[in-house]
A and B are shown apart, each in its own frame.
Chain A
Amino acid sequence: MLDIIIGLLMLLSAFASLQNKDLLKSGVFFVVFGFMSGLLWIRLSAPDIAMVEIILGSAITSILIFKLSKGVRDIAVKPEIWRKLWAGAGSLVLFVFLTFYLFTVREEERVGGLVFEKLSLSGVESPVTAVLLNFRGYDTLLEVGVITLAAIGILALEPKRKIYEWNDIVVWRFSKMFLPIIALFSLYITYLGAFSVGGAFQGGSLLAGGLAFLSLSGQKLPIRENPTLFLAMLSLAVFVAFAFAYALVGYGFLTYPLELSTLSIMLIEISICLSTGLLLYIAIRGRL
């Protein structure tokens, strides 16, 4: 019952976001949509994804949307009818396929059982982290590469825009006061990823939230530009370095030796946490 209500609200907010003429209201409904999908992930007992979805989908994205929509005036975005039809048909095919799969797949054929079977070989106790950084580490490496590239693109384009600021002494002081606590908590979440709910992307987006608060109140990080860039690119470097090092020693690309796997996964996770936070900070601020 609750799931149906949340799903209906999600559909409703998606529709409202797409159909609204006003860009700002459209953004607000998009934020509601992100929050609802976060709730739905919790109902599906996937708190890892719910955390990322709520932080990124409804907090960070909303800042980016409102920052971008500030300069834009009344651009009527009207996609052609064939494009709508094309998207609808694609979604329908995917929906039918997934429903069909859901009702025909047998319990023992699901991938989850395999993950739990091999969990002891991964070096971490949390199945989500094991899949992200060990079994399917290649995907995560490419994801890190994609967000790094996106931040480089924003850095190349953005310095012409004015920094979006909010001169207010209370917000200014509090963002400064809370940043250490948020940073500590994000590292804790990252560390928690090894054996429970949490992980690098969760911690990183939390750190990005704190940094976004700092950047919105018109301050910048008290470190110089080059170290910021270095820290933002750190995760890609660490990830690739680990992958190639183990490949050269003879284990294979992104295959960790069993004794070192916990240590390597933790190092990669911490670097991803720092870099995700700083990359999103760069995306929000538009410069280093």
Chain B
Amino acid sequence: MLIEILSTSLILIGSLFLLIGSVGLIRLRDSYSRLHALTKADMLGFGFVVLGVMFSVSSLGDALKLVIIWVFVVVYSSIVGYAIANSKRKRDA
């Protein structure tokens, strides 16, 4: 019961961060600040969601798989954020 509450609230916190990131993507002015909002909030939100789901899986293997997924998403999202920002910088220069 306690674990369920913990897991659900973690997933909710993660979804909140994802929502904030999406709002930032729509509302902010230029590409850099949009990217800033999106990458940070996404990474944190996704981390919370993974943490929340981790409490509700049964085996250790599944939890480890979730951690691997999280690492991959973090690495890829930072590469993509860098690449978009860099191509924007090159285009402006």
User: Which A residues have a C-beta under 8 Å from some C-beta of B?
Assistant: 166, 168, 170-171, 174
Q: Which residues on A sit within 8 Å (CB–CB) of B79?
A: 170-171, 174
User: Which B residues have a C-beta under 8 Å from some C-beta of A?
Assistant: 75, 79, 82-83, 86-87
- The CA-CA distance from A171 to B79 in the complex, in Å, is 7
Q: Which residues on B sit within 8 Å (CB–CB) of A171?
A: 79, 83
**Cβ distance A201 to chain B, nearest Cβ, rounded Å:** 21
- The CA-CA distance from A174 to B81 in the complex, in Å, is 13
Interface of B is mostly: helix
Q: Which residues on B sit within 8 Å (CB–CB) of A166?
A: 83, 87
Q: Which residues on A sit within 8 Å (CB–CB) of B75?
A: 174
Q: Which residues on B sit within 8 Å (CB–CB) of A168?
A: 83, 86-87
Chain A, residue nearest B82 (CB): A170
Q: Which residues on A sit within 8 Å (CB–CB) of B86?
A: 168, 170
Chain B, residue nearest A169 (CB): B86
Chain B, residue nearest A170 (CB): B82
**Cβ distance A196 to chain B, nearest Cβ, rounded Å:** 13
Q: Which residues on A sit within 8 Å (CB–CB) of B82?
A: 170
**Cβ distance B57 to chain A, nearest Cβ, rounded Å:** 16
- The CA-CA distance from A171 to B82 in the complex, in Å, is 9
**Cβ distance A172 to chain B, nearest Cβ, rounded Å:** 10
**Cβ distance B86 to chain A, nearest Cβ, rounded Å:** 6
- The CA-CA distance from A168 to B83 in the complex, in Å, is 8
Q: Which residues on A sit within 8 Å (CB–CB) of B87?
A: 166, 168
Q: Which residues on A sit within 8 Å (CB–CB) of B83?
A: 166, 168, 170-171
- The CA-CA distance from A174 to B80 in the complex, in Å, is 11
A/B interface sample: 13 pairs, CB < 8 A: A166-B83, A166-B87, A168-B83, A168-B86, A168-B87, A170-B79, A170-B82, A170-B83, A170-B86, A171-B79, A171-B83, A174-B75, A174-B79
- The CA-CA distance from A138 to B86 in the complex, in Å, is 48
Closest 5 CB pairs of A and B: A171-B83, A174-B79, A170-B82, A168-B83, A168-B86
**Cβ distance B82 to chain A, nearest Cβ, rounded Å:** 6
**Cβ distance A58 to chain B, nearest Cβ, rounded Å:** 14
- The CA-CA distance from A174 to B79 in the complex, in Å, is 8
Chain B, residue nearest A175 (CB): B79
- The CA-CA distance from A170 to B86 in the complex, in Å, is 10
Chain B, residue nearest A177 (CB): B75
Q: Which of B75, B79, B82, B86 has the most CB of A within 10 A?
A: B79
